[in-house]
Amino acid sequence: MISEQAAEIFLKARTLDPATRIRYVTGACADDPTLLREVSLLLSGANESEAYFDGLARKVSLEVLAEDDTPLPANKVIGSWRLLRRIGRGGMGAVYLVARSDEHFEQQAALKILPTGLDTDVARARFLVERQILARLVHDNIARLLDGGVTEDDVPYFVMDYVEGLPIDEYCVSRRLGIDAKLNLLLDVADAVQYAHRKLIIHRDLKPSNVLVTETGRVRLLDFGIAKMLEPDGNELQPTRMAQRPVTPNFASPEMLCGEQVDVTTDIYSIGVLMYLLLTERTPLCFNGMSLTEMWKHSANEVPPPVSHINHALRGDLDAIVAKALAKQPQERYSSVESLANDIRNYLNGHPVSAKTPSTWYRARKFVNRHRAGTAFSVFTVIAVATIAALAVRSATVSARQTREITAERDRAEQTKEFLVSIFESADPDLVPGNQTARDILESGRARIERELTDQPELQADLLETMSHVYISWRQFEDGQAVLEREQDLRRATSGEVSAEYIDVLFRLAVNADIAGDYDLSLRYVGEALEASEQLGSSYWLALSHERLGRILHLQGDYTAADTHYRRALAWMIEASGKDSMEAVFIREQLANLLNHQERYEESLVEFETSLAVRRKVISGDSSEISPILLGMGSVLTKLGRQDDALRAYEEGYAMNERLYGADNSYNMYFANGLGKLAEVNGDLETAIQRYSEARRLVALHTPYSPNMAFAEAGLARVYALQGRYDLAIPMFRSALQIFTERLPSHWLRGDTKWRLGLCLVETANYVEAEALILDGLLVVEEQWGHDHQNTADARSAAVRLYEKWGKAEMAQNYR
Amino acid sequence: MGGVGDITRLLQEASAGSRRASDALFESVYLELRKIAKAQRRRWSGNETLNTTALINEAYVRLAAQDLANYQDRAHFFATASKAMRQVLINYAERYTAAKRGGNALRVTLSGLSLQDASTVDELLLIDSLLNKLEANNPRRCRVFECRVFGGMTVEETATALDVSAATVKRDWTVVSAWLFSEMKPLGDDTIEDSSG
């Protein structure tokens, strides 16, 4: 046991350096061997002991969430932000009010930081996922991500809008809002949630405290802390276990409470609860004092009273809307937030709403119930599944800003497919693999739509639209075409040729044609869309049509025509949404890329810089909207000979992507390729090989058989050829050429690759094949760049080299 | 469990030196901690996290928060709760050991608090028996250790809870850690000469 004397000597000895310590201890315990032993024992572990028990405390209280309870000191500076005070904390991070001073104004914001005690791999991954989710969401009704990074101690943080407001229910009560005003607020909520869904993000925790309304009546969605990403950019950033967090039972869907897989309809349910709450000032179900099992049962079985029974001022249509949103079975709810919002709008405008019983939906459900045993899958499940897919793909087809290029679209389609498959697997345990394919299921769904909904052409068209997204995502051109043409007929009959719906189906027809590689057909559809947009007189749709046209032409290498259309698109979009709108900026970026390809580097740089400035106004930190601009700038700066600036832009973007998406993310294949090119231009061939190889590896990881692969391989092959390593260069060129031929036949790089491959063959004395390749390649390049261009001259010199080495000097003469 | 007022009364009587009140207080807090731990465990199936500190906090909120305006009462409550937490953990550890002895490789989880590896369990049991020895010799040091390790309290909180200075807490913490550590190691291998040489 510790004597007081020993404790005193021990404590004193601790303060001394080792040499004096021995002298002191031996002196103090001179004539007491027991005391000396006691003190010695205490000292023997003193260096580790406190840390050890601190560690034990943590080990014991783990799976550790020893959340650091001490707030960070006020005025501490993190990044460019100064902490003012802590405004919240939870398991997932502490939130501080922060300010950034700048010459002109002081900006306040909310900074969320991972508590130091919480810095486990899982918590960190979860935290980064939230940051990544926020980075994707740029919407008026969602608190924006402003900045992000890690502190000096490597603790991740991010900064978002600081929202001062009231929870939506309190706001409605305090302002004594009427029914219409409440519904209008809900429409803003729906709009934000729908936007998130299009970005493939499910919020999963919609409740009043996460839906604030500001002084000016603006709705702001907060807290994507448990949101789920449907498309984790190829990286599994979301450990499934972390998905769980206590949810407020009042606002959670039955499937969420049961811990089952959730999809977008879980958010629809929560919006339904919000709607119920705002309209009646009470939640639909009451869970007070229940155990979890009781909650499950209650949530799954108890049907809340219709809202009109509580508030007699409400009409029956609202009952129908709320009931449909709150349906127990996810597939019986609205299939998308958009359709819920449409019904609310219909209600506000006095139009009939879709949610009426008994409706076709109702009949269909009955049908499904009757046939459940017989068919492994139901139309209904198909529709639910397809709708989710639609959410994924629609963004790629309708909204230009979503889609960086066709390849990105394909990535997304691929992931959508995977997601679909997983839904298919989880949705019906009776489904025997091989017995019935997803395609069969869709097929029978299609037949049923035709058969059973003949009296409802609009609904038919909507369902076909949904199916078309699935076929497009599956790259099933034939099926897609059949469905789309049918939808086109229906749209023509229901909405007329001069309508947004009709233009939309034309866009999808064009995308479908892209899949088959039939660019002429694609152009024809977009041309029709353009005509319809002109007649409709909608600047927004005109902008989209021109942008779409420009993009196809751009991809095909028709730069002059693409230029015209991009510029028109830009003008229309500025008229439709304003100069600084994200849509306009997106088109400007496309234009900048085009100018780059046209070798109009100075102009291109100006457009990129303009875009960057607009984006930076909105977003100050890492952002998925900014890194693509840095990519373009890197490329242009390389060509302008500003190597150092180019390297800086590339490296900034590369690092940003790593922070945003983690290592080996798909975006960095472009940066790796750009860095390869930069090194190639600088004559740093070893670096070039490293970078191109990295690009190739990343492409293989994300989009194995895509034009991207051709670019990376062509680059790598060029460097090998420069080094005289023809054995490596030739197969690489061949592989690239094959992809070009199949995927981008009219791109000039196909010609470039051809003659370069030919030149390698010259060096290995394979003259016959070399001649065909070089002459063919030269033709393509010359057509693109004209007779006098350096690219053409390079190709021509290959011909000269060929004939000289082949001993046909007179032929060589023709190419000098 | 009695009403909220009971806790305040018990705390006051315990501070005034009533052994009976202090026992009753301990029992209330202990039962509440176990109840919370069980409920949490059921609700989040062990996936979610609730550390000892959070557990004690919740017990505090449930039992006493509305009534204990003053910081010192709060601190006293926490000191009691830390002791109760120690008991909760030891009971789990004992049950784990018993289960293991019975050949049943049961993983004991307490609301996200996993005593997954046997060594941690053994350590806990050893610490408990050492603390029992210490209790007789210097109860204050024992309290300090409980507050710091089982209650997750800071030096300052501990000081307030135990009505001593922060410096005393720090010294006690240093001494008790060093002592426990030395007692837990196999004896005789380290001497002062070794550690300084």
A101 - beta bridge partners?
Answer: A106
pLDDT at A362: 31
What torsion, rounded to 10 degrees, do the Cα atoms B60, B61, B66, B67 define?
-10
- Give the span between the Cα atoms of A326 and A254, in whole angstroms: 10
% pLDDT > 90, chain A = 28
> Which segment of A122-126, A347-351, A368-372, B119-123 scores lowest on mean pLDDT?
A368-372
Distance CA B183, CA A2 (A): 11
For residue B77, the SS3 value is helix
On the question of pLDDT at A401 being above 60, the answer is no
As a whole number, mean pLDDT of residues B2-21 equals 71
Percent of chain A with pLDDT over 70: 77
Q: What is the pLDDT of residue A155?
A: 80
Interchain CB distance below 8 Å, A65 and B180: no
Classify residue A11 as exposed, middle or buried by CB count within 10 Å of its CB (0-12, 13-18, 19+): middle
Residue B190 identity = D
* Mean pLDDT, chain A, whole residue set: 77
Q: How far, in Å, CA of A348 to CA of A14, rounded?
A: 77
Can you tell me whether residue B40 is helix, strand or coil? Answer: helix
Contact of B152 with chain A, judged by CB distance below 8 Å, is answered with yes
Q: Which residues contact A683 (CB under 8 A, 6 or more apart)?
A: none
Chain A's closest residue to B192, CA to CA, is: A40
User: Which class for A816: exposed (0-12), middle (13-18), buried (19 or more C-beta within 10 A)?
Assistant: exposed
Mean per-residue pLDDT for B17-21?
78
- Compute the average pLDDT of residues A67-74: 53
Specify the pTM: 0.39
Q: Which of B95, B106, B114, B94 is nearest to B41 (CA)?
A: B114
**Nearest Cα residue to A798 out of A761, A764, A768, A749:** A761
Please state at what angle helix A707-722 crosses helix A668-682, rounded to 10 degrees: 20
Query: CA–CA distance from A71 to each of A154, A178, A612, A770 (Å)?
Result: 17, 42, 36, 71
Chain B 94-123, residues with CB within 8 Å of chain A CB atoms? 112-115, 120, 123
Is residue B194 one of the residues assigned to a domain?
no
Q: How many interface pairs between A and B have CB atoms less than 8 angstroms apart?
A: 136
Chain A nearest-CA distance from B13, in A, is 30
A164-178+198-347 matches A67-162 in CATH topology: no
Best mutation site among B58, B145, B155, B182 for testing chain A: the one with the most A CBs within 10 Å? B182
Question: Which of A99-113, A262-276, A423-437, A628-642 has the weakest average pLDDT?
Answer: A423-437
Say yes or no to pLDDT of A146 above 60.
Answer: yes
A138-142, A363-367, A751-755: segment of lowest average pLDDT? A363-367
Question: Nearest chain A Cα to B150, which residue?
Answer: A57
- Tracing tokens 């006691």 back to the chain, one arrives at A38
Query: How far are the Cα atoms of A122, A349, A656 from residue A149, in angstroms, in the given order?
Result: 18, 46, 9
When mean pLDDT is compared across A165-179, A299-313, B40-54, the lowest value belongs to: B40-54
The whole-number pLDDT of residue A367 equals 29
- Note the residue count of chain B: 197
A101 close to B (CB below 8 A):
no
CB burial of A226-238 (b: ≥16 within 10 Å; e: otherwise) equals bbbbbbbbbbebb
Among A66, A91, A241, beta carbon nearest to B152 = A66
Average of per-residue pLDDT across A295-314: 79
The residue of chain B with its CA nearest to that of A12 is B171
In terms of CA atoms, which chain A residue is nearest residue B184?
A: A45
Is it the case that residue A582 has pLDDT exceeding 80?
A: no
Under 8 Å between Cβ of A222 and A172: no
What local confidence, expressed as pLDDT, does residue A717 receive?
96
Whether A61 and B178 lie within 8 Å, measured CB to CB: no
Interval A339-343 mean pLDDT: 92
What's the CA gap between A645 and A62, in Å, rounded? Answer: 48
With CB atoms and an 8 Å threshold, state whether B148 touches A53. yes
Evaluate if residue A571 carries a pLDDT over 50: yes
Region A541-567: what's the mean pLDDT?
A: 89
How far is it, in rounded angstroms, from Cα A570 to Cα A587?
Answer: 6
pLDDT at residue A153 greater than cutoff 80: no
When CB atoms are compared, the residue of A42, A53, A59 closest to B182 is A42
Q: Which of A7, A41, A53 is opposite residue B149, by nearest beta carbon?
A: A53
For residues A249 and A263, give the distance between their C-alpha atoms in angstroms, rounded to a whole number: 17
Better pLDDT: A618 or B118? A618
Q: By the 8 A CB rule, do A337 and A271 touch?
A: yes
| Whether residue B98 has pLDDT greater than 80 | no
Angle at A273 between CA A138 and CA A181, to 5 degrees: 70
Q: How confident is the model at residue A63 (pLDDT cuts 50, 70, 90)?
A: very low
Q: How many CA atoms lie within 13 A of A740 on its CB side?
A: 23
Asked if residue B196 is part of any domain, the answer here is no
Q: Cα–Cα distance between A535 and B88 in angstroms, integer? A: 76
Measured CA distances, A144 to A109, A158, A286 (Å): 10, 11, 33
Residue in the block written with tokens 């990129």: A608
| Interface check A17 vs B, CB under 8 A | no
Facing residue for B48 by CB, picked from A40, A246, A291: A246
Query: Does residue B157 lie within any of the structural domains?
Result: yes
CB contact under 8 A, B171 and A11: yes
Give the pLDDT confidence score for residue A86 in this predicted structure.
76
Mean pLDDT value across residues A70-87: 78
The upper half-sphere exposure of residue A807, i.e. CA atoms within 13 Å in the direction of its Cβ, equals: 1
- Range name among A276-290, A330-344, B60-74, B160-174 with the lowest pLDDT average: B60-74
Q: Taking CB atoms and an 8 Å cutoff, what residues of chain A touch B171?
A: 7, 11
Mutate to test the interface with A, among B179, B185, B196 (most CBs of A within 10 A): B179
Nearest partner of B66 among B82, B77, B52, B50, judged by Cα? B77
Residue A248, pLDDT > 90, answer no
With CB atoms and an 8 Å threshold, state whether A65 touches B178.
Answer: no
pLDDT class of B37 with cuts at 50, 70, 90: low
Alpha-carbon gap, residue B85 to A215, rounded angstroms:
46
Contact A63 B49 (CB under 8 A): yes
Residue of B nearest to A64 (CA): B51
A456: distance to nearest CA of chain B, Å? 46
Residues B182, A42: contact at Cβ < 8 Å?
A: yes
Residues 176-195 of B with CB under 8 A from A: 176-183, 185, 190-195
Predicted pLDDT at A394 = 36
Residue A452 to residue A450: CA distance in whole angstroms: 6
User: Is the Cβ pair A65, B115 closer than 8 Å?
Assistant: no
Q: What is the pLDDT at residue B6? A: 72
User: Do residue A14 and residue B174 have CB atoms under 8 angstroms apart?
Assistant: yes
Q: What DSSP string describes A47-68?
A: HHHHHHHHHHHHHHTTTT----
Res A298: pLDDT: 79
Comparing C-alpha atoms, which of A447, A801, A696, A401 is closest to residue A570?
Answer: A401
Q: In this predicted model, what pLDDT tens digit does every residue of A454-483 receive, in sequence order? A: 777 777 777 777 677 767 766 677 888 998
Give contacts of A252 with chain B, Cβ < 8 Å: none
Contact B48 A11 (CB under 8 A): no
> Which tokens belong to B196?
């300084």
Highest-confidence segment of A237-241, A262-266, A447-451, A634-638: A634-638
What is the strand order of the sheet A219-221 is part of? A165-167, A211-214, A219-221
Cβ pair B152:A10 closer than 8 A: no
- Closest among A254, A316, A248 to A279, alpha carbons compared: A316
The answer to whether the Cβ–Cβ distance between A45 and B148 falls below 8 Å is no
Distance from CA of A289 to the nearest CA of B (A): 12
Place of tokens 């465990």: B41
Q: What are phi and psi of A612, to 5 degrees?
A: -60, -40
The domain containing residue B128 runs over which residues?
4-186
Note whether B149 contacts A: Cβ–Cβ < 8 A: yes
Tell me if chain B has a CB within 8 Å of the CB of A66.
Answer: yes
Could A14 and B124 be called an inter-chain contact, meaning their C-beta atoms sit closer than 8 Å? no
Model confidence at B140: pLDDT above 70: yes
**Residue A358 gets which letter from DSSP?**
S
Total tally of structural domains belonging to chain B: 1
pLDDT for res A671: 92
Contacts of A53 in chain B (CB under 8 A): 145, 148-149, 177, 180-181
Report residue A418's pLDDT band, with 50, 70 and 90 as the boundaries.
Answer: very low
Confirm whether B86 is domain-assigned: yes
- CA dist A311 → A308, A320, A346, A610, A657 (Å): 5, 14, 20, 53, 51
B78, part of any domain: yes
Q: How confident is the model at residue A452 (pLDDT cuts 50, 70, 90)?
A: low
| B133 contacts chain A (CB < 8 A) | yes
Quick count: other Cβ atoms within 10 Å of Cβ A705? 14
**A350 φψ region: left (φ > 0), alpha (ψ -120 to 50), beta (else):** left
Per-residue pLDDT, averaged over A11-32, amounts to 80
Residue A45 has pLDDT above 80, yes or no: no
Residue B197, in any domain of the structure? no
CATH code matching the domain that covers A164-178+198-347, chosen among 1.50.10.10, 1.10.510.10, 2.60.120.10, 3.40.50.920: 1.10.510.10
- What pLDDT digit, counting tens, does each position of A185-226 carry? 999 999 999 888 887 778 888 888 889 999 889 999 887 766
Which whole number is the average pLDDT over A365-388?
Answer: 34
Which of these, A718, A719, A622, lies nearest to A146 by C-alpha position?
Answer: A622
pLDDT in tens, B99-139: 555 433 333 333 233 334 445 667 777 888 889 888 888 88
pLDDT at A242 over 60: no
Instruction: Identify the CA nearest to A423 among candidates A441, A398, A450, A444.
Output: A441
Q: Which of A8, A63, A114, A256 to mutate to test the interface with B (most CBs of B within 10 A)?
A: A63
pLDDT for position A293: 55
Q: Is residue B191 part of a domain?
A: no
Are the beta carbons of B173 and A10 separated by less than 8 Å? no
The span from the CA of A554 to the CA of A587, in Å, is 13
**In the predicted model, is pLDDT for residue A239 greater than 50?**
no
H/E element holding A147? strand A145-150
Q: Which of B124, B141, B181 sits opposite A45 (nearest CB)?
A: B181
d(CA A606, CA A591): 11
Token pair of A60 as six digits: 């014991």
Closest chain B C-alpha to A743 CA, distance in angstroms: 47
Name which residue leads in pLDDT, A240 or A563: A563
CB-based contacts of A344, cutoff 8 Å, min separation 6: A183, A186, A187, A190, A321
Q: Tens digits of per-residue pLDDT, A681-703?
A: 999 999 999 999 999 998 887 76
- Peptide bond preceding A358: is omega within 30 degrees of 0, i.e. cis? yes
What pLDDT, on a 0 to 100 scale, did the predictor assign at position A238?
37
Computed over every residue of chain B, the mean pLDDT equals: 68
Note the CATH number of domain A67-162. Answer: 3.30.200.20
| Partner-chain contact A1 B134, CB within 8 Å | yes
Task: Confirm or reject contact between A19 and chain B (CB < 8 A).
Answer: yes
